[in-house]
Amino acid sequence: MSSSHWFERAKAVIPGGVNSPVRAFNSVGGTPVYFSSGKGVIVQTEDGADLIDFCGSWGPLILGHARDEVIETVKKTAEQGMTFGANTRLEAEFAELLCHQIPEMDMVRLVNSGTEAVMTAIRLARGYTNRRKIIKFEGCYHGHTDYMLVASGSGLLTGGISSSAGVSKTATAEVFVAPYNDLESTQAILAEHGDDIAAVIVEPVAGNMGLVKPAEGFLEGLRKATQTAGAILIFDEVINGFRLGPTSYGHMCGVHPDLTTLGKIIGGGLPIGAIGGTKSIMEHLAPLGPVYQAGTLSGNPVAVASGKKTVELLRDESPYLKMEILGQRMAKGLQHVATEKELDLHCAQLGGMFTPFFRKDVVTNLEGSKACDQEAHARYFHHMLQHGFYTPPSGFEVTFISGVHTHEQIDAFIEAFYQFEG
């Protein structure tokens, strides 16, 4: 049965036919693709097509689909019990591994998603500082809690929604929003409201308005400004963590936040999230401190086993240089084609992440991302899909190269793009 068949059935019993809005293809049009299986970077669809996957479940599959060692670990762990709602040694081992790979994290608490991790980080920052207000940045997406759905990126941009219905004005009243990469605006807010600011939260490398790199000095400036104001600096590394190296981006760039949120890659394809930070802050979490957080499935042994094996493989194999080389090859190839064919396009790239922005100027913030030609992106998406490549169905997302993509697949992608008419 085809993707169209399953989408029609899904729409009768699932709102919009999808369990996450961006999957609805509203930004690019057409019928969503339904996957049936995947191995490495090749996925099979319900329409009988084989596609080379450059979405990777939006980032977690840095080792490709169904990596043998991860699957074997998951099977063995599941056979011993899917969940206990009690402690397992895997939790301790995984926490030790994460803290070892990210030395600035003294302690870590496992949760079930990136959204939960951010929710906990904000609550912890407020409980630790006894302050209420926070600063976030336009176009950065930090999950779907009420106070984070202000000037958010990702699916909210795709759906043309500036904020969500059902969000209390009281919740958003405690959130200041600054343009990404605008240090002066953040400093001004802290100068005027510093005594009320509990935390500044940021994606150190933005990935929910397309790939937007931090400007020189931006993260360093945030670190200094939050220390001066006595506010907690939170790096949301749900996308960044273990994507550019076997550690956090904060560790790699030498800017150490007070708290870091993780997700995606650290689950190896299964749902997970984590929050980590200094001991003095983390010990404010219950049962040691007054900040409550709990979860029946937190530290689920199957998800933890999958994540632990993934992180170990990344640590031992270190595919990051390969992904950087492939990423540069992709970006230079797309840029060359765009120049030769006089297409308005700038391809942002960092490591194995890239975004083809359909405008010539470099994108540095949400305003620049929203100024791109989204209709051209929709045509690009369907063109690449017809040529056997699956990319994110939104111009506000990052395209991912994994550790198992090949030079030949990158070159085939560029060749297919050469046939794109814009």
Would you state the pLDDT for residue 8?
96
In sequence order, the 6+-apart residues with CB closer than 8 A to the CB of 216 are: none
Sign, CA torsion 301/307/311/313: positive
| CATH superfamily placement of domain 1-65 | Aspartate Aminotransferase, domain 1 (3.90.1150.10)
Would you state the pLDDT for residue 85?
94
Q: Which two tokens stand for residue 256?
A: 């150490």
Are 68-316 and 319-375+406-422 the same fold in CATH?
Answer: no
Would you state the pLDDT for residue 173?
81
Give the CA distances from residue 100 to residues 201, 246, 248, in Å, rounded to whole numbers and listed in that order.
23, 10, 11
C-alpha closest to that of 101 among 318, 351, 271, 325: 318
Q: Considering 180, 236, 308, 309, which one is annotated as catalytic?
A: 236
Cα–chain center distance at 51: 22
Would you state the pLDDT for residue 150?
72
Q: Which two tokens stand for residue 261?
A: 């949120």
- Please report which residue ranges of 213-300 form alpha helices under DSSP H: 218-229, 249-253, 279-282
Pairing of strands 389-390, 50-53: parallel
Q: Considering 128, 133, 136, 141, which one is annotated as catalytic?
A: 141
Cα–chain center distance at 173: 26
Task: Quickly name the fold that domain 319-375+406-422 has.
Answer: Aspartate Aminotransferase, domain 1 (3.90.1150)
Would you state the pLDDT for residue 162?
41
- Say whether 316 sits in a helix, a strand or coil: helix
Asked if 313 and 63 touch (Cβ cutoff 8 Å), the reply is yes
- Say whether 157 sits in a helix, a strand or coil: helix
Give the CA distances from residue 328 to residues 103, 233, 261, 323, 333, in Å, rounded to whole numbers and listed in that order.
29, 31, 28, 8, 8
Would you state the pLDDT for residue 160?
34
Q: Digits of tens for pLDDT over the chain (422 positions)?
A: 899 999 999 999 999 999 998 899 999 999 999 999 999 999 999 999 999 999 999 999 999 999 999 999 999 999 999 999 999 999 999 999 999 999 999 999 999 999 999 999 999 999 999 999 999 999 998 987 766 777 554 443 333 334 567 676 777 788 999 999 999 999 999 999 989 999 999 999 999 999 999 999 999 999 999 999 999 999 999 999 999 999 999 999 999 999 999 999 999 999 999 999 999 999 999 999 999 999 999 999 999 999 999 999 999 999 999 999 999 999 999 999 999 999 999 999 999 999 999 999 999 999 999 999 999 999 999 999 999 999 999 999 999 999 999 999 999 999 999 999 98
Residue with tokens 């003095």: 280
| 306 vs 271: CA distance, rounded Å | 10
| 180 vs 271: CA distance, rounded Å | 28
Would you state the pLDDT for residue 320?
98
245: number of Cβ within 10 Å: 19
Active site residue 264: yes
Q: Which two tokens stand for residue 373?
A: 């030609």
DSSP 95-136: HHHHHHHSTT-SEEEEESSHHHHHHHHHHHHHHHHT--EEEE
Active site residue 236: yes
Would you state the pLDDT for residue 227?
97
Would you state the pLDDT for residue 164?
64
What are the sequence ranges of the domains in the chain? Answer: 1-65, 68-316, 319-375+406-422
Would you state the pLDDT for residue 154?
43
| 104 vs 165: CA distance, rounded Å | 38
- Calculate ∠ Cα 69-72-76, nearest 5°: 140
- The rounded percent of the chain whose pLDDT value lies above 70 is 95
- 68-316: CATH number: 3.40.640.10
pTM: 0.94
Q: Considering 133, 136, 264, 308, which one is annotated as catalytic?
A: 264
Would you state the pLDDT for residue 301?
98
